[in-house]
């Protein structure tokens, strides 16, 4: 694998991920604003983003803390929201079987929705790629996303109070996940899981601390697995 090929694949990943900046930026600003309004200092806010780097889980935990939810509910909810990362890891494993441990550790540390969705799609489209090529593409998709998450979190924490509420930055949260999920609905199992999660979450919206989302997630995963089993396994 030549240096030119390595650079080409890296920049392909960066270009693929670049459009996500349009939603990652407002999403991160929103977290920075909410965190500082909840009483977190800038250092704590940035530590939250750097070490957790999981927007949905961060917002979930922060909102529950603001609502003075029991600590166990905060922890369980944040872990449940981030449970998808375990599934992402399992999905990526077959593509990175012989990658050195330190590289796999970095892959795990920076795993987010955007680089997962792009990487799995490209790995399926390019089965001839070597392990190093897959790794370099993955970090290419990470390059535009992770630094922007940190930078815009800091912006939100520093100038959040000056951002007019009419800007409605919270629009970025649903748009970010719609942009990720919609292209992934490629099988009946995916569609069934998405449908069950929506219906159950709406039906249980009355539960405190967003506990309905936990139930919806579990039932959706069970539904997807059952549909896949009835169809004879993964396709």
Q: What is the mean pLDDT of residues 175-193?
A: 71
* pLDDT (tens digit per residue) in 72-104: 888 887 777 787 788 788 889 999 989 999 999
* pLDDT (tens digit per residue) in 131-163: 999 999 999 999 999 999 999 999 988 886 666
- Residue 165 scores a pLDDT above 80: no
Q: What is the mean pLDDT of residues 178-192?
A: 72
pLDDT for position 2? 45
- Domain-wise residue ranges, the chain: 3-184, 185-235
| Run of H or E residues at 150 | helix 131-159
- Residue 1 scores a pLDDT above 90: no
* pLDDT (tens digit per residue) in 194-230: 899 889 989 988 887 777 877 887 888 888 888 888 8
* pLDDT (tens digit per residue) in 56-71: 778 777 777 777 778 8
Token pair for residue 178? Answer: 């719609």
Nearest by Cα to 6 from 109, 129, 124: 129
Q: Of 173 and 89, which is predicted with more confidence?
A: 89
- Residue 172 scores a pLDDT above 90: no
Side-chain half-sphere exposure of 107, counting CA atoms within 13 A: 25
Among the listed ranges 32-41, 112-121, 156-165, 220-229, which one has the minimum average pLDDT value?
A: 156-165
Q: Of 64 and 111, which is predicted with more confidence?
A: 111
Please check whether residue 160 is in contact with residue 45, taking contact to mean a CB–CB distance below 8 angstroms: no
Please check whether residue 3 is in contact with residue 137, taking contact to mean a CB–CB distance below 8 angstroms: no
Beta-carbon neighbour count of residue 47 at 10 Å?
Answer: 12
Please check whether residue 77 is in contact with residue 210, taking contact to mean a CB–CB distance below 8 angstroms: yes
Beta-carbon neighbour count of residue 136 at 10 Å?
Answer: 21
Token pair for residue 11? Answer: 């920049």
Q: Of 23 and 204, which is predicted with more confidence?
A: 204
pLDDT for position 135? 95
pLDDT tier at 105, thresholds 50, 70, 90? very high
pLDDT for position 170? 56
Token pair for residue 197? Answer: 């999660």
Q: Is 215 exposed, middle or buried (0-12, 13-18, 19+ CB in 10 A)?
A: middle
DSSP 93: G
């Amino acid at each position: 694998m030549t240096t030119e090929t390595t650079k080409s694949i890296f920049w392909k990943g960066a270009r693929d991920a670049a459009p996500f900046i349009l939603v990652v930026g407002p999403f991160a600003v929103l977290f920075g604003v909410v965190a500082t309004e909840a009483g977190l200092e800038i250092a704590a806010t940035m530590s939250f983003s750097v070490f957790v780097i999981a927007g949905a889980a961060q917002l979930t935990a922060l909102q529950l803390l603001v609502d003075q939810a029991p600590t166990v509910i905060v922890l369980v909810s944040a872990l449940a929201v981030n449970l998808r990362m375990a599934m992402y890891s399992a999905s990526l494993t077959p593509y990175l079987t012989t990658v050195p441990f330190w590289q796999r550790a970095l892959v795990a540390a920076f795993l987010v929705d955007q680089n997962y969705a792009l990487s799995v799609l490209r790995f399926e489209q390019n089965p001839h790629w070597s392990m190093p090529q897959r790794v370099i593409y993955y970090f290419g998709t990470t390059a535009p996303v992770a630094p922007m998450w940190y930078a815009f979190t800091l912006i939100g924490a520093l100038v959040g109070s000056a951002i007019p509420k009419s800007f409605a930055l919270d629009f970025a949260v649903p748009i970010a996940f719609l942009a990720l999920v919609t292209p992934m609905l490629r099988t009946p199992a995916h569609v069934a899981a998405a449908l069950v999660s929506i219906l159950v979450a709406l039906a249980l919206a009355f539960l405190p601390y967003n506990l309905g989302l936990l139930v919806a997630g579990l039932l959706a995963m069970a539904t997807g697995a059952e549909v896949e089993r009835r169809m004879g396994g993964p396709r």
